[in-house]
Amino acid sequence: MFTGLIEEIGTIRNIFTEGQSSRLTIRAEKILQGIHYGESVAVNGVCLTVSEFKSKLLTVDVMPETFRRSTLKNLRAGQPVNLERALKADGRFGGHIVSGHVDGTGIIRECSGDGIAKSLSVQTSESILAHVVFKGSVCLDGVSLTVIDVSEGVFIVSIIPTTREKTTLSAKRPGDELNIECDLIGKYIRNVLLSGRRTAHESKNRIDENFLNRNGFV
């Protein structure tokens, strides 16, 4: 579990790709402190498992599902990436609940100034937009942000100077692709509600003794 508060910007050192899988070697410093084999780290918002580490280098594997659903397949050597270690039980929860299981991607359509902040307009699929809530939380490339507007096909987030300085979002431009993870709690609530509706609909259409009684067959 993560919070969406980026600890460090790392640099892709090497990429080994085989089919729809890859192994990333990342140069980093802070997140290597106290890290152990098999732990989870978020790379641009994607939860990955530490498979190897040594002085200032971290290696993680990207499985096919993650490769297909995220922007990690587009990474190149030398690119910066947002990094966050998994949340410790006694840590501060400064962002929001982030699982690192991205829902998909979106494309930046517009970047604009908004006082001290910078606004990003992100276009994405309707299935993802269904989980994006005005004034709710969303995670873009691993960064916890607040949604300030939602309209047909797009949503807008506002990024404060500190976030721009400490993450890769400062370099993003129109046309760039981002990993998106919608609010975890909101997704579960929506799924439960939809499941309840499906169950109610199925029960109404089930042929049983009550159905036969209601329709005069018994």
pLDDT tens digit at each of 218 positions of the chain: 899 999 999 999 999 999 999 999 999 999 999 899 999 999 999 999 999 999 899 999 999 999 999 999 999 999 999 999 999 888 778 889 999 999 999 999 999 998 999 999 999 999 999 999 999 999 999 999 999 999 999 999 999 999 999 999 999 999 999 999 999 988 888 888 877 666 555 555 566 667 666 666 66
Q: How far apart are CA 161 and CA 46, in angstroms?
A: 24
pTM over 0.75: yes
Q: How far apart are CA 95 and CA 146, in angstroms?
A: 10
Pairing, β 40-43 against β 80-85: antiparallel
Pairing, β 57-62 against β 80-85: unpaired
81 is written with which tokens? 């990436």
Residue 126: predicted pLDDT: 95
Give residues with Cβ within 8 angstroms of 76, minimum separation 6: 12, 15
Q: How far apart are CA 192 and CA 106, in angstroms?
A: 25
Three-state SS for 178? strand
Eight-state DSSP code of residue 29: S
For the chain, percent helix, then strand, then coil, each to nearest 5?
A: 25, 40, 35
Residue 214: predicted pLDDT: 67
Residue 188: predicted pLDDT: 85
Segment (H or E) for 139: strand 137-140
